[in-house]
């Protein structure tokens, strides 16, 4: 029931002798502001969820690219003679350096993905709760 209807019915029950208390504030204005804020929040939530999904996809692509780079570096001779012991040592050192760096990046990306997934779940769970209101 709308507040104005409830007030009118309450006044009908109280009768003409009753004095309705003076109320501060403007309930209609506050309700309109609340509804506008909820619409703005829902728009922001949708944009945020879209941004989180884009972040997750970018993290996944970056991780996949790192894995591909590792695959390319491993077994690559970088144009050197792998049969030459000095050059083989250089190849192995360079491969290890690059692979270790990429492995470290992949590890960091997994942490980013975990945070992103958690945040995405929170946002979508909140959206479901709001939709039930």
Rg (CA), the chain: 31
DSSP state, residue 83: T
The whole-number pLDDT of residue 127 equals 86
CA distance 108 to 85: 34
Residues 77, 20: contact at Cβ < 8 Å?
A: no
The whole-number pLDDT of residue 3 equals 85
CA distance 56 to 126: 19
The whole-number pLDDT of residue 47 equals 96
Q: pLDDT of the chain along its 133 residues, tens only? A: 588 899 899 999 999 899 999 999 998 899 999 999 999 999 999 999 999 999 999 999 999 999 999 999 998 999 999 999 999 999 999 999 999 999 999 999 999 999 999 999 999 998 888 888 8
The whole-number pLDDT of residue 4 equals 85
CA distance 105 to 99: 10
The whole-number pLDDT of residue 1 equals 55
Residues 46, 56: contact at Cβ < 8 Å?
A: no
């Amino acid at each position: 029931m709308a507040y104005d209807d409830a007030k009118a019915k309450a006044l009908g029950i109280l009768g003409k002798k009753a004095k309705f208390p003076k109320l501060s504030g403007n309930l209609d204005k506050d309700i309109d502001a609340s509804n506008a804020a909820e619409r703005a929040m829902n728009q922001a939530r949708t944009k945020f969820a879209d941004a989180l999904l884009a972040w997750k996809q970018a993290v996944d692509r970056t991780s996949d690219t790192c894995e591909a780079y590792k695959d390319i570096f491993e077994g690559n001779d970088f144009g050197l003679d792998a049969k030459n012991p000095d050059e083989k040592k250089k190849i192995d050192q360079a491969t290890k350096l690059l692979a270790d760096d990429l492995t470290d990046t992949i590890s960091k990306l997994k942490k980013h993905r975990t945070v992103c997934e958690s945040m995405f779940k929170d946002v979508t769970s909140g959206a479901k709760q709001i939709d039930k209101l």
